[in-house]
Amino acid sequence: MKPEAQKETISVANLPQEGFLELDQYIETTAKDESVLIHVLHKAQSIFGYLPREVQLYVGRKLNVSGAKVFGVVSFYSYFTTNPVGKHKINVCTGTACYVRGVEKVFDKFKELLAVENGGTTEDKIFTLKDVRCVGACGLAPVVMVDDKVFGHVKPEDVEKIIQQYREAE
């Protein structure tokens, strides 16, 4: 799924200031030009969780790249997101192997139980549900990744248990 447009405007003041410090320190160690743009955006997303316009402009100024160029890159790659995401990212693999093994029913179950569409975040901001391109664990198809943990051979009836497991930890 291609990234959606940013839904709300965020004031830089509302973003954690120590995040910008951390980002500055990282940029200190890199070249100051376009070639490191994707690397820096990866870092920024790992710090803030997402890349609102304000962060994109900040990165652009630091690397001497235009805001349009930064946005062009952010909107091109599916790994980047411009909207806040939930605490846990549920990525449902939609690679061919998983598709053939019936991942659609699993995906539908997640949508039903979390009451969100693809790309959506639950109201309590705990989960973001998203499809993801093949994670390369085709031997375990259908596969669901929650953050970095891979769940294999997932059946629709397992979905509730997976969600519950993370809800309880809250």
- Nearest of 74, 53, 62 to residue 9 by alpha carbon: 53
- Taking the least distance from each CB to another protein, the nearer of 127 and 151 is 151
Binding segment for another protein (CB under 8 A), chosen from 11-19, 82-90, 137-145, 158-166, is 137-145
**Interaction between residue 111 and another protein (CB under 8 A):** no
Long-range contacts formed by 32-39: CB under 8 A, 24+ apart: 32/62, 32/63, 32/64, 33/63, 33/64, 33/65, 34/63, 34/65, 34/69, 36/63, 37/63, 37/65, 37/69, 37/70, 37/73, 38/73, 38/77
Nearer to another protein, 85 or 140 (CB): 140
- By the rule CB under 8 A, 42 interacts with another protein: yes
First to last CA, the chain: 28
Q: For residues 56 and 43, what is the distance between their CA atoms, to the nearest angstrom?
A: 12
The count of chain residues that interact with another protein, using the rule CB under 8 A, is 43
Q: At what angle are helices 17-28 and 37-48 packed, to 10 degrees?
A: 150
**Residue 115, interface with another protein (CB under 8 A)?**
no
Smallest separation (angstroms) from another protein to the CB of 141 = 7
Q: Near another protein by CB under 8 A, which window of 20-28, 36-44, 52-60, 117-125?
A: 36-44
Angstrom distances, CA of residue 158 to CA of 65, 78, 109, 153, 165: 46, 27, 9, 9, 11
Q: Which of residues 141-170 bind another protein (CB under 8 A)?
A: 141, 143, 148-152
- Contact pick of 27, 73, 92, 154 for another protein (by CB under 8 A): 73
Q: Which is nearer to another protein, 143 or 163 (CB)?
A: 143
Residue numbers at the binding site for another protein (CB under 8 A): 1-2, 33-39, 41-42, 69, 72-73, 76-80, 94-97, 99-101, 105, 132-141, 143, 148-152
